[in-house]
Amino acid sequence: MNSLVVGISDMKVSSTNDDVLITYSLGSCLGVIIYDPVAHVAGLLHSMLPLSKIDPLKAKTAPCMFVDTGIPLLFNEAYNKGAEKKRIIVKAVGCSSMLDEKGFFKIGERNFTILRKLLWKNNILIDKEDIGGDQSRTVSISVATGRVIVKSEGKEKEL
């Protein structure tokens, strides 16, 4: 197995069966996992903020930092590797409120809202999610099997 680490404000897409895409420390950040089980194409996006309009210059140099610019990039890269929209399975992880106990910023909640709006406009549904709460998560996907594993607070589960 070859682990491809997806950093904060980063994305990876692979069609190599030996690859496992993984991202760490999803707090209020949003992790979006897509998978085409026929083409064996997997993608993982780690976005920090909901909307790129707060810093259009940054969005040009780091589009994966924002949900609204990272999602189209993720899907287009998967399509370039042979994935088809009708077969793509979408899973979402993260969006906790770890550093916002009073609910002032609601970054995690806003990240998830923008994801849902983007997918809804494109007739794409979320298959499964592990969203909210107050814990950090690590998520991985195997390109060969599409198996998604979420680790949090010393526990591991398949999503």
Domain that residue 92 falls in = 2-158
**pTM confidence score:** 0.95
Give the domain CATH number at 49.
Answer: 3.30.1330.200
Place of tokens 């420390």: 25
Determine what percent of the chain is predicted with pLDDT higher than 70: 96
DSSP string of 101-152, one letter each residue: TT-SS-HHHHHHHHHHHHHHHTT--EEEEEE-SS--EEEEEETTT--EEEEE
DSSP string of 15-38, one letter each residue: --TTEEEEEEEESSSEEEEEEETT
pLDDT mean by block of 10 residues, the chain; 159 residues: 97 98 96 98 98 96 98 98 98 85 76 98 98 95 98 96
Q: Which two tokens stand for residue 139?
A: 């998520």
Output DSSP code: residue 49.
B
